[in-house]
Structure 1
Amino acid sequence: MKKNIFFNKNWIFLQNQLFSICIKNNIKNFFVPLTNLGLLEFSGHDAASFLHNQLTNSVKYLSTEKTQLAGYCSSKGKLLVTMILWKIDNKIILLFPYELLSSFQKKIKIFILRSKVKFKDITHKHLIFGLIGKKIAYFLKTWFPNLPKKPYDKIDNVFGTLIRITNFNEIPRYQWITANNIIGIKIWEILIKKFPVANTFEWSFFDIQSGIPQITLETQEKFIPQMINFELIGGIDFKKGCYPGQEIIARMQYLRKIKYRMMLAVINFTNENKNIIFFIKPGVNIFSEENSIKPCGKIVNTVKIEDNKINCLVKVKLDYIQNKKKIYINSVHRLLLVFQKLPYFIVNI
């Protein structure tokens, strides 16, 4: 796979120099070069129907004004990738972590067989920006006079694709996928003069606070979609028919066997136990106060913005949340997870 040359020469260097200052300083308008994301383009007569039969959400009838969340699962119903996808003309674009592109391509290629479908990595041809703030929204009207109004609405024009994603505390957020490198670099030069630039950790913070999970290398095949609230945020269509793992996912839904849910939590630590923050990462088990041997859940995503705090999404047993049990990272360090409210309702609680 080829990554964007501009990423390699400029953005990756810049990301390493950036500190999480926008959130710390309560800056409400800034942008982020999303160097951690990649793009796959699917084309061909059977592209929509092929993806419809592979992903957790409906693709066949996707309009050109909408994007949607979807997942790709193993035959056991465990998520391999979570993504945003959309349609442009007769092409379907998938946006998800760049680190998963290679494994996804190898897996999906097996199932194409005689279908009239082609796919290619187009990451290197685009620049991807995350943007947040009301002033930035007004600024975007220069290129997109009619901004997308609701989360997962989108607008396409010669400057690229602008997607409205979930708000943060009523502050609008967007992802801008530029039409090509030339336009992207010019946009970068304009943005950097007008607004502060943040790193990808700060963007992840907003996704975590919004309760939007993302599968990573560490968590592939660890979660059935409902365990991380994927149907609650619009990532599953239970009426669309078969796809890998569909039977297991449907059985869990209709037989009410959802024993785990994803929760928002904060882990506070002091200078004395600061050295263990490197062990708090996606895929790590969590334990209850009653049982330090058998895990009661697993970390889904984490981000460290403040000096002595880690924000995270965790899969946890519903019984423990309902009974307000204390839950820790492990029995040795005893770092407590302090649970917070998600911005959406969990029906099982």
Structure 2
Amino acid sequence: MKKNKFFNKNWIFLQNKLFCKCVKNNIKNFFIPLTNFGLLEFSGHDSTSFLHNQLTNNVKYLNTEKTQLSGYCSSKGKLLVTMILWKINNKIVLLLPYELLPSVHKKIKIFILRSKVKLKDITHKHLIFGLIGKKMAYFLQTWFQNLPKKPYDKIDNIFGTLIRITDFNQIPRYQWITKNNIIGIKIWEILSKKFPIANSFEWSFCDIKSGIPQITLETKEKFIPQMINFELIGGIDFKKGCYPGQEIIARIQYLHKIKYRMMLAVINLTNENKDFIFLIKPGVNIFSEENSTKPCGKIVNSVKIETNKIYCLVKVRLDYVKNKKKIYINLVHKLLLKFQRLPYLIVNI
């Protein structure tokens, strides 16, 4: 895999010199170089139908003004990766975590066979920025005459692709994908002079608070989509045709056998438990106070923003949430999960 030399060199400098804890310090407008994401490009006559038969959402609904949240599953219905995809110049681009890109690239390429589809990793040719703040709209209008109004709307022009992401506490968020050329580097320089710079943990925090899960290396093939609320945030189309794992996912949905849901939780760190922060990471099991041997769920994503708090998305058994059971990361060290409201409704709680 080719790496983005410009990003690597400059981001190391920024992490050492200019990193700002924007959320903690209540900074309202900032940007983030999203070096933890990669891009796959599909082209060719059959690219739409091919991806339609591989992903959880209806790729045939894609147009030039909309992006789409989707997932790629194993034959057992477990998520291998979550992504955003869009159509541009008769090509389809997938934005996904860079750590999972090589395995997804390798697996999905196997199924191309005789289809008229070409697959490329185009990460090194682009710069990816995350932008947060109400003032961002004024800044972006310098580059884009019209802005995407709703989450997952997008705009394309010579300066790249601008995507509206789910808001964070009613504050607009955007992802800007631009070429890694003179224009892209100039955009980088202007952004870094005009706004504070944060790192990818701040973006993850916004996703977690918004209830948007991200599959990682640790959680690959661990979750059926409904376990992490994927259909509630628009990541599944149950009316489309077959794709890997579709039969299992549909059976769970229509037989109402969803025993787990994803919840937002916070862990308060104290002098007694702060040395065990290493236990709080994606893929780690969680337990109820009544049963310390059988897990009742698993951490999906976690991030430490404030000094004494860690925010998590966790997959947890519904009956435990309904009965208000106390849930811990580790019973011995009392890493208690305190559940908070998600910005969308989970009807079966």
**TM-score in terms of structure 1 length:** 0.98
Q: CA deviation at 1:19?
A: 4.7
2:166 equivalent in structure 1 = 166
Shift of 1:193: 1.0
The AA in structure 2 aligned to 1:229 is N
8 Å contact 2:20–2:196 — kept in the other structure?
A: no
Once the two structures are TM-superposed, the CA of residue 270 in structure 1 deviates from its matched residue by 1.3
The 5-angstrom pairing of residues 96-245 of structure 1 reads 96-245=96-245
Cα–Cα, structure 1 residues 278 and 18, in superposed 2: closer, same or farther, change >3 Å? farther
Matched, 1:309 2:309: yes
How high is the sequence identity, in percent, across the aligned residues?
A: 86
| Amino acid corresponding to residue 94 of structure 1 in structure 2 | L
Q: Distance between the aligned counterparts of 2:19 and 2:298, measured in 1?
A: 28
Q: 1:150-179: per-residue Cα shift (whole Å, max 9, x none)? A: 000000000000000111121110000013
DSSP-derived class of the 2:135 partner: helix
Residue 250 of structure 1: aligned partner: 250
Give the deviation of 1:18 after TM superposition: 5.3
SS in 2 for 1:93: strand
CA offsets, 1:163-206, max 9 Å, x none?
00111121110000013332221001101111101111011100
Q: Which residue of 2 aligns with 1:77?
A: 77
Give SS of 1:65's match: coil
| Compared CA separation, residues 18 and 123, structure 1 to 2 (3 A) | same
Q: 2:7 aligns to what SS in structure 1? A: helix
Residue type of the alignment partner of 1:245:
G
Relative to structure 1, is the Cα distance of residues 16 and 108 closer, same or farther in structure 2, using a 3 angstrom cutoff? Answer: farther
Measured in 2, the distance between the counterparts of 1:204 and 1:61 equals 28
Aligned with 1:134: secondary structure?
Answer: coil
Mapped to 1, the partners of 2:52 and 2:333 lie a distance apart of 45
TM-score when normalising by structure 2: 0.98
Structure 2 counterpart of 1:333, one-letter code: H
Is residue 265–residue 339 contact of structure 1 (8 Å, CA) maintained in 2?
A: yes
Q: 1:264, CA displacement in angstroms?
A: 0.2
* Cα displacement (A) at 1:17: 4.9
Instruction: Give the whole-Å Cα distance in 1 for the aligned partners of 2:227 and 2:60.
Output: 26
The 8 Å contact of residues 32 and 203 in structure 1, kept in 2 or not, is answered as: yes
The answer to whether the Cα contact below 8 Å between 1:21 and 1:198 also exists between their aligned partners in 2 is yes
Shift of 1:39: 0.3
**Secondary structure of residue in 1 paired with 2:253:** helix
Q: In the TM superposition, what whole-angstrom CA distance separates every residue of 1:111-165 from its partner, at most 9, and x where no partner exists?
A: 1111011111111011000001111111000001100000000000000000001
Per-residue Cα deviation, 1:238-276 (whole angstroms, up to 9, x for no partner): 011100000000000000000000000001111332221
Structure 2 unaligned blocks of 5 or more: none
In structure 1, distance between residues paired with 2:12 and 2:321:
40
Does residue 324 of the first structure (1) align with residue 324 of the second (2)?
yes
Q: Secondary structure at the match of 1:271?
A: coil
User: What is the 5 A alignment of 1:269-308?
Assistant: 269-308=269-308
Shift of 1:16: 5.1
- Tell me the secondary structure at the aligned position of residue 273 of structure 2: helix
In structure 2, do the counterparts of structure 1 residues 98 and 325 end up closer, same or farther at CA, with 3 Å as the change threshold?
same
State the secondary structure of the residue aligned to 1:217: coil
Q: Structure 1: give runs of 5+ residues left out of the alignment.
A: none
Give the SS at the match of 2:257: coil
**What SS class does the counterpart of residue 204 from structure 1 fall into?**
helix
For 1:86, what is the secondary structure of its paired residue?
Answer: strand
